[in-house]
Amino acid sequence: MHLMAVADDGDRSVIETAAPLTVTAREVGPATTGVELSAMLADVTGGAPGARASVSWGDGGDLDDAGITDGVVNAAHTYSEPGTYAVTVTVDDDTLSRSVELEVVVEDEAAATPPTIQASPDSVVVGAPLTVTGRDFTAGEDVTVTLPGGEKQSVTAGDDGAFALRVSLAAGTQPGTATITALGGESGVAAEAALTVLPPAFTFVDVPPGLLFHDEITWLAGRGVTTGWELGDGTREYRPLAPINRDAMAAFLYRLAGSPDFTAPTVSPFVDVATDNQFYREIAWLHAQKISTGWAEADGSVTFRPLQPIARDAMAAFLFRYAQVGDYQAPATSAFTDVDPGNQFYREISWLAASGVSTGWKGNDGTAIYRPLTPINRDAMAAFVYRLDRLG
């Protein structure tokens, strides 16, 4: 932008008590063909009240009236052709008339900087976190990011047109070369980034392809939530039909949260969890996050019962507290015939159903049942944790 000469038509009727009318051009950034330029063009000081402004946009169009708000001339215009235009702003207060000229550079729409996205890292296993960053999108527009496998997630571009979205690939995404796409909702412009989907670092011998929840268990391993058990021959087992104990559940949620930096207390919050317990840090974190409060015993102590299989009702409470959805209102009618509204964990179980984390079982009469007191197996827990993660 270049500022040009100032012109005036002289003093038509000097009012000695008024400060002289002064108009100063502002800098205006580049415009784009076909896109409305709304800009603050000039600053106005002094002069008589009620001054009016007009703008000649330099493209042969009609003279436009412009507003003056808080001493600033504001106007909008859409250019149809690229080029450099001399814009003239005139302010008249019926006593004096002042004009300033400024330069506006108009770029062709196709020449505008296209948006770009990048995946970091650009090679991942299914389940592992990655960050999709974008730049040069329209400020404030909603951007739809489509991941390999077709899953879509939304993010809003900032005032600078940039965004950063933390994601993981959906369970069942196949290894190979893939593409991430980001589409601007307002601009309608798309950007792409290449991604290499790696095969799992390891597999479980007891979780073959086609097994119920195979994809969710594989995702869980890729996310680093579970490594299963290593056997003497170097292979690994997941033991999908084994109930998951409360200590392992604590470890699952801690790792799902990204293994946060947490210093466990020197004194255990639970009398049955020693500070040298394999999962002491994870269990102490669960307590610190108020995900688990344990049991108050008759002698006043608090126990966690780490080796006890976790029942489906308590698991619902764990996931509900982990997700921090304290404003959820449970319905008056239960989604499950075996979970009464008076149940201790009715609200938590209802949220699990409403969010799609659990659908329960269909009973013989066609109604849905939850089996709240049944211990949850490791395969079903993998599915629950995966669905919880996809809630965002």
pLDDT (tens digit per residue) in 184-201: 998 888 999 999 999 988
**Region 33-61 average pLDDT:** 92
Give me the residue label for tokens 């004194």.
267
- C-alpha to C-alpha distance for 368 and 103, rounded to whole angstroms: 70
More confident residue, 34 or 143: 143
Beta pairing partners, 86 = 103
Q: What is the pLDDT of residue 18?
A: 64
Q: How far is CA 290 from CA 11, 303, 350, 351, in A?
A: 76, 14, 20, 18
Q: What is the pLDDT of residue 111?
A: 60
- C-alpha to C-alpha distance for 289 and 319, rounded to whole angstroms: 12
Average pLDDT of the chain to the nearest whole number: 92
Residue 179 in this model has a pLDDT that exceeds 80: yes
Per CATH, the number for 113-198 is 2.60.40.1930
Over residues 214-260, the pLDDT tens digits come to: 999 999 999 999 999 999 999 999 999 999 999 999 999 999 999 99
Parts of the chain belonging to CATH 2.60.40.10? 7-110
- C-alpha to C-alpha distance for 349 and 320, rounded to whole angstroms: 8
Residue 4 in this model has a pLDDT that exceeds 50: no
* pLDDT confidence tier of residue 6, bands split at 50, 70 and 90: very low
The domain defined by 7-110 carries CATH number 2.60.40.10? yes
Parts of the chain belonging to CATH 2.60.40.1930? 113-198
* pLDDT confidence tier of residue 175, bands split at 50, 70 and 90: very high
Over residues 306-350, the pLDDT tens digits come to: 999 999 999 999 999 999 987 899 999 999 999 999 999 999 999
Beta pairing partners, 104 = 85
Over residues 294-307, the pLDDT tens digits come to: 999 999 999 999 99
More confident residue, 6 or 125: 125
Residue 1 in this model has a pLDDT that exceeds 50: no
Measured N-to-C along each axis, helices 312-323 and 346-354 cross at an angle, to the nearest 10 degrees, of 70
Q: What is the pLDDT of residue 379?
A: 96
* In the chain, % of residues over pLDDT 70: 94
Q: Is the peptide bond before 121 cis (omega within 30 degrees of 0)?
A: yes
Q: What is the pLDDT of residue 17?
A: 52
Q: Can you give the pTM of this predicted structure?
A: 0.67
Q: Are strands 302-303 and 123-125 parallel, antiparallel or unpaired?
A: unpaired
389 phi and psi, to 5 degrees? -65, -35
